[in-house]
Amino acid sequence: MEYELYNNEEFLEVIDLWDLTKEQQERLKDLIRETGFDKWIATDIEKIFEKREEPEYLGIEDLFPDAEVIEESVVNTNSNKNLAASLSNKMKPADISEIKDLVLDGMVKFSDNIEYIHISKLSQLDDTMNFFSLPDNEDFLDLMESIERHYVLVPLIVIKDKESGNYIVISGRSRLNALNALFNETGDKKYLYAPCILLDSDTDSSTIQSIVISTNLSYRKISKEEQIKSVLLLDKIVTKSKKYRNQMNITDVIAKRAGVSRTTANTLRGFKNLSPKALDLLYKNHITRNAARILSMIEEHETQDLIIDGLGNQINDMRKLREMCAGPSSRIYVRELNQSMPETWEMKTERTLKMIPSTTAITIYVENKEVEGVLKALLPLRGRAASRYQAYKDNEINKHFRVVLNENHMEQYLKAGRVTKETLDKIRSGEFKEIIKYA
């Protein structure tokens, strides 16, 4: 059971489920079910609240610390060339057209055939472009098992390095790691070759970046930080792309590629206006998406950083954040000096930090035998609040003093005789004349 002082402004906030704690999510689920709103939702309520956690990932070196580097001398033997040819004839990876569909620009040139390249000739793309985390231990072992049973079903996308003559993996980093691990574990030479699709060597960096993002978004669960980075980069790439340049609204394109709703895509696109400091705090979960959305409406990065530094750990207080975003007042009366003057940012920050919440929420957990007594004790408090705030209109008292009951529990307590219908009717009443009796 809980009672809370209620603030209309709270209902104007846009809440991102990722920003709620587990306890808050459970309370919200209960509220949706108690009100019967879950019957109007098209999908299962549990799916809406499905966790999208950011697990700690293990690298290949953590899984196989004793793995040895494969000697390049094994590449040129006739037996290995024959093995590559044999694999090419037996294995049937995914259709190349499925891979091409992941690329934003339809003019990108791919090789027509799948080539089997020795894994010692393959190297990882710089992590500034492939910023996605590696799979966790369990997912990586599942990938190894899949390759053991079916080999590599989806070819790697690679581009030839003109300087070294080797190949850089654009998509397929985890599959390459799995092949390395399987060879070191089993010694089976079939794992020495990876099926690859070659990109044209003149492919530009933005196209390579789009492939990295599209393939990772299509095949994997990603973290909150990776999702935001992906959308921001997609926004930059799609905006410059000849294919989409003439479209009035590219949000739909990004939403489809990122696998998110149009509303989410639009919100995340707005984060491109954030300062580097604000983005870093967002990635680290120090500010909520709602706070980031408000900050992004301020054009000057210097002002955003000033507000962040000024509010400190109160940056997620929406009331104070909005106050700071409004900027200093043109004139403010300074009581100590008995005069008005232009407000500085320092004065604005000091004044804002002194603001306290106009309402708050208080949660009380009580033994079932105490419920009736607690509800009766709350009646005079509501009555005095109704009188103090002159809450004459029906249910206006809820703006100042609202009691929220767990209706499922109340129904059970009522049947068990732990509470009376009279007490429940009184605490639920929104009529001023009824409430004021208990003041």
Same domain, 353 and 381: no
CB distance 295 to 322 below 8 Å: no
Domain boundary residue, one of 340, 358, 376: 358
- Kindly list the strands in the beta sheet with 402-404, ordered across the sheet, starting from the edge strand earlier in the chain: 361-363, 2-4, 402-404
In this structure, the number of other CB atoms found within 10 A of the CB of residue 400 comes to 18
* Position 261 in a domain: no
Same domain, 70 and 125: yes
Q: How far apart are alpha carbons 206 and 217 in whole angstroms?
A: 16
Same domain, 140 and 279: no
Same domain, 14 and 80: no
State both tokens at 434: 């009824």
Same domain, 215 and 66: yes
| Helix or strand run (H / E) with residue 63 | helix 60-63
Same domain, 26 and 163: no
State both tokens at 26: 């459970």
Same domain, 67 and 150: yes
* Position 247 in a domain: no
Same domain, 298 and 354: yes
Same domain, 66 and 208: yes
What's the count of helices (H) and strands (E) in the chain, helices before strands? 20, 10
| Helix or strand run (H / E) with residue 115 | strand 115-118
Same domain, 69 and 147: yes
- Angle at Cα 425 formed by Cα 24 and Cα 367, nearest 5°? 50
* Position 243 in a domain: no
Task: Name the 3-class secondary structure at 100.
Answer: helix
DSSP for 282-320, please give it.
HHTTSS-HHHHHHHTT---HHHHHHHHHHHGGGTT-HHH
Residue in the block written with tokens 């208080």: 362
CB distance 282 to 315 below 8 Å: no
Q: How far apart are alpha carbons 27 and 409 in whole angstroms?
A: 13
Task: Name the 3-class secondary structure at 212.
Answer: helix
Report the chain's C-alpha Rg in angstroms. 30
pTM over 0.75: no
Q: Return the amino acid letter for 146.
A: S
Same domain, 64 and 212: yes
Output the pLDDT for position 13.
Answer: 43
Dihedral of CA 87/88/93/99: which sign?
positive
Domain boundary residue, one of 181, 199, 219: 219
Q: Print pLDDT tens along the chain (439 aa).
A: 444 433 444 334 445 555 566 677 777 777 777 666 665 555 566 666 654 443 333 333 333 333 333 333 334 445 555 666 666 555 555 555 555 555 555 555 666 678 899 999 999 888 777 878 787 788 888 888 888 888 888 888 888 888 888 899 988 888 999 999 999 989 888 899 999 988 887 787 777 887 787 777 666 666 777 778 878 888 877 777 666 655 557 788 777 777 777 888 888 888 989 999 999 999 888 999 889 999 999 999 999 999 999 999 999 999 999 999 999 998 888 777 788 889 999 999 999 999 998 889 999 999 999 999 999 999 999 999 999 999 999 999 999 999 999 999 999 999 999 999 999 999 999 999 999 998 8
Domains in the chain, number: 4
Domain that holds residue 302: 274-358
C-alpha dihedral (381, 385, 386, 388), degrees to nearest 10: 140
Domain boundary residue, one of 358, 391, 408: 358
The closest of 55, 58, 35 to 45, measured between CA atoms, is: 35
Residues 6 or more apart from 378 whose CB is under 8 A from it? 3, 403, 427
Output the pLDDT for position 227.
Answer: 78
Helix axes 137-150, 173-186, angle to 10 degrees: 70
Same domain, 66 and 212: yes
Q: Say which CATH number the domain at 210 has.
A: 3.90.1530.10
Q: How far apart are alpha carbons 1 and 293 in whole angstroms?
A: 33
* Position 37 in a domain: yes
Residues 6 or more apart from 276 whose CB is under 8 A from it? 301
* Position 267 in a domain: no
Give Cα separations from 194 to 85, 177, 180, 183 (angstroms). 12, 11, 10, 12
Residues 6 or more apart from 320 whose CB is under 8 A from it? 311, 314, 352, 353, 355
